[in-house]
Amino acid sequence: MDSHFVLGLGMGLAAVLSALGSILLAAAFHGSKIPVRSSIFDERQKGTLFLFDGEVMIDCTPGGRAVIAASAVPGSDWAKLLVHLSMSFPQVDQHLTKLPEQGAVTLAAEDESGQTILLLAEYRGGLTHITLIDPESRGASFGYDLLAQRSMSDDLAFLRSIVSHAPFLAWREKDNGDVVWANTAYLLRAGDLLAQGQELTWPLPKLFDRTAILQGVSGQRQILRFPDGREQWFELVSMPDDDGRRIYALPADSAVHAETTLRDFMQTLTKTFAHLPIGLAIFDNRRQLQLFNPALLDLTGLQPDFLSLRPSLLSVLDALRDRSMVPEPKDYHDWRNQITDIERAAASGVYEETWNLPGGQTYKVVGRPHPNGALALMIEDISTEITRTRRYRADMELGQSVIDSMDEAMAVFSETGMLVMTNANYTKLWEHDPSDSLASVGITSLARHWCSKSAPSALWAEAEEFVCTVGDRQPWSADVRMLDGRLVTCRLLPLAGGATLVGFRVGRGAADLVSESAERRTA
């Protein structure tokens, strides 16, 4: 036999034997391998499963993840699960606390629908296995998730309850305008609009103008008028939805009533402002003119078309300066600074100033802040008041100068006995100047003062009684001696309105006055 043939045959047999050996080893290894235990995520598992290491969740089924994610309870996943389970199993936390000792716990409960639910908890290898199973679902297909299914059912029932009891109208329309779905509030309003004995039909009746709805403008308002005379306003919100639209009608009676009240109030204010003699200009927080009255036009000479453009505060003051309606400053830059000071002072609520205008008028300008940064500027013509005050002050000064020029010391008292006026000779005689004190002085305190400067006499008590007497009085006079020896004649004369004049003349006695009076009568 050829040696090369024998060598090739041997190598072939060796290769075959090697392959067979590999196959046998693989089979032996496969036969001795321990089967792997099923995972909790195996689709053959039923129910909702959780796997915890202490309070740390290692893994769970999709339904379990949905429960944990939907929980609003703060804290760990373990705490969220306990809160959820406690709704069906009130003492679940106590049972799970004893789980490491007992090894396994089985609890049964009924949910709100009366269906039975089982909780299986095991402690294996330091891990806590929690499984929720519905006994009635044993024949369900693989992958059935009890908790996820019931959560979806609860969510659906909850959403239906919310929509059904919503305090607003909600409905869905097709493109042709047919109402194909509506909530309870819509059905109730539709029933109120039906005639007596008529019932709702399909498709449902349309309550609102569809032309406005198709515009799709949020916030539009429509009114429903009921057969009993009631009216109700709604604010419509519309949005597209596949082959139709979803519309919501929110009650707007309060908003409409508030706007009507505000509009009436603004009209009342406008009419009131129109009759005010005080010029009023209201600026918003950006210092733009928002409201003015006719008196502002009359006082300032500003044109209505200019004010209607809502100029700024600075523009209004510039226009007033052009018409010489503000005090003219020394230079323009200082005046601009004054404008800034006016705005700042008015915004803080302390600006009040009198403007003496070049034309002779006198304006009182008051700035007051308003909510939200608004500013009200009020201009009042006080020229007549200032003229009257100046005239009164001039008359008072003239009267004072007249009595100051008289030789006799005089003091005038009001009906209540309070000192009203004295002259210079009175201050010199009695060393008493009432202007040194802001407090009012009465006849009682002055009588004590006069008594301290003169010899004892009953004159001062009689003078006090005379000044305080109400009714008809007769003038009288008497003499009193001063501490320095001078003789002073005092005369008391009633004046109009219950006032009293007390005069003091030095150096002449009562007898001299009587003799002088007799001589005048003889002559």
Q: Which domains does the chain have, with CATH numbers?
A: 48-156 (3.30.450), 167-255 (3.30.450), 276-381 (3.30.450.20), 400-522 (3.30.450.20)
Supply the pLDDT for residue 140: 46
Supply the pLDDT for residue 72: 65
- Specify which residues 104 forms β-bridges with: 122
Decide if pLDDT at 74 tops 70. Answer: yes
Residues 416-449: tens digit of each pLDDT: 999 988 999 998 998 888 877 767 888 899 999 9
Decide if pLDDT at 289 tops 80. Answer: yes
Supply the pLDDT for residue 19: 46
Looking at every residue in the chain, the average pLDDT score rounds to: 78
Decide if pLDDT at 522 tops 90. Answer: no
Give percent of the chain with pLDDT exceeding 90: 11
Decide if pLDDT at 407 tops 70. Answer: yes
Average pLDDT of the residues in 93-120: 82
Supply the pLDDT for residue 3: 42
Q: Which residue has the higher pLDDT, 307 or 69?
A: 307
Decide if pLDDT at 325 tops 70. Answer: yes
**Side-by-side strand order, sheet with 244-251:** 179-182, 169-174, 244-251, 231-241, 220-225
Supply the pLDDT for residue 25: 45
Decide if pLDDT at 374 tops 80. Answer: yes
Please, which residues have CB within 8 angstroms of residue 457's CB and are 6 or more apart in sequence? 451, 480, 481
Q: Which two tokens stand for residue 377?
A: 């500027």
Q: How far apart are CA 195 and CA 227, in angstroms?
A: 8
Supply the pLDDT for residue 492: 93
Residues 449-502: tens digit of each pLDDT: 999 999 988 899 999 999 998 888 899 999 999 988 889 999 999 998 889 999
Decide if pLDDT at 8 tops 60. Answer: no
Q: How far is CA 38 from CA 134, 138, 174, in A?
A: 20, 18, 52
Cα atoms found within 13 Å of the Cα of residue 454, Cβ hemisphere only: 24
Supply the pLDDT for residue 321: 83
Decide if pLDDT at 11 tops 60. Answer: no
Indicate the SS3 state at residue 221: strand
Indicate the SS3 state at residue 287: coil
The answer to whether the CB of 367 falls within 8 A of the CB of 374 is no
Supply the pLDDT for residue 117: 80
Residues 135-179: tens digit of each pLDDT: 665 444 444 455 556 666 666 667 777 777 777 888 888 877 778
Q: Which two tokens stand for residue 85?
A: 């389970």
Range from 14-18, 451-455, 513-517 that averages highest in pLDDT:
451-455
Average pLDDT of the residues in 365-385: 85
- Specify which residues 50 forms β-bridges with: 60, 130
Decide if pLDDT at 369 tops 60. Answer: yes
- Among 449, 456, 446, which Cα is nearest to 481's? 456
The answer to whether the CB of 467 falls within 8 A of the CB of 443 is yes
Q: How far apart are CA 82 and CA 57, in angstroms?
A: 12
Q: How far apart are CA 102 and CA 92, in angstroms?
A: 14
Cα atoms found within 13 Å of the Cα of residue 62, Cβ hemisphere only: 9
